Structure 1
Amino acid sequence: MQILTLFLVALVALEHIGIAGLEMFAKPEKQAELFDMPLEFIKNKHAKMALANQGIYNGLLGILILMMILFFTGTTLKIILIMLMLYVIIVAIYGAATATKKIIYLQGLPALIALVFVLFFYN
């Protein structure tokens, strides 16, 4: 079950790296559709800059999660993964409250599932 747990956590990490790619490099039309934002807003220079900045954070969060899996083990890794999954869940709740409700399902739910597996199946 530990391998499955780490696999689920890695999927959360890869999701954030993928989101980063979309936030930084996707065409404005695709970004508007995916992030439930008006196209005119997405095409705004300042909005593009803010979205790319957000992408950096998401990408580095994904890389950080993967690095933790590679460099730590045991209780240390468990504590780190609990903290990181809680962080993703909190951010998803905030995003659902302020941006679009689908964030809670697309980012929060996978992190919640991974958190449950970390808590109960990772030693």
Structure 2
Amino acid sequence: MKLIASILIGFVAIEHLYILWLEMFAWTTRGRKTFKSLPPDLFEPTKSLAANQGLYNGFLAAGLIWSLLIQNNEWHNNVAYFFLGCVIVAGIFGALTAQKSIFYVQALPAIIALLFTLLS
């Protein structure tokens, strides 16, 4: 169970590293293809805002990766709980305020990882 939890935490971390890349470095190229609901002329003026969001996603990924490197099981779990909780809250907030699909892409994988971490 612990291995599955770690794999799921790793998946959520990789997902947030991808979001970091997308928002910080590929907002005006790949971002246009990913966020089709936004008008194309909005990407260039919002480039710095997207980069800021990407940086926050990088912090989430860093915290999740950090949790995987902690040898003490209690601290590993506590750090994982905190960062998975942050991802869940961000995903729910994003789904309520921006786009419903954010819940399924961001919050749901973190909820599943959290459940497996709680059970491990």
TM over 0.5: yes
The match for 1:10 is: 10
Task: Name the CA distance, whole Å, in 1 between partners of 2:66 and 2:78.
Answer: 14
Q: What is the rounded CA distance, in whole Å, between the counterparts of 1:51 and 1:73 in structure 2?
A: 36
Number of residues of Structure 1 aligned to a counterpart in Structure 2: 119
- Contact preservation (8 Å) 2:84, 2:110: yes
- Deviation of residue 73 (structure 1)? 2.5
Structure 1 partner of 2:85 = 86
Which residue type is aligned with residue 49 of structure 1? S
* CA offsets 1:31-60 (integer angstroms, 9 cap, x no match): 13323322111121xx10010111111112
Percent sequence identity is 36
Amino acid at match of 1:41: L
Higher helix share: 1
- Distance in 2 separating the partners of 1:27 and 1:81: 28
CA RMSD of aligned residues (A): 1.4
Please give the per-residue CA displacement for 1:104-123, whole angstroms capped at 9, x wherever unaligned: 000011001001101112xx
Pick which of 96-105 and 27-36 moved more: 27-36
Structure 1 residues not aligned, in runs of 5+ = none
CA distance in structure 2 between the partners assigned to 1:29 and 1:37 by the alignment: 13
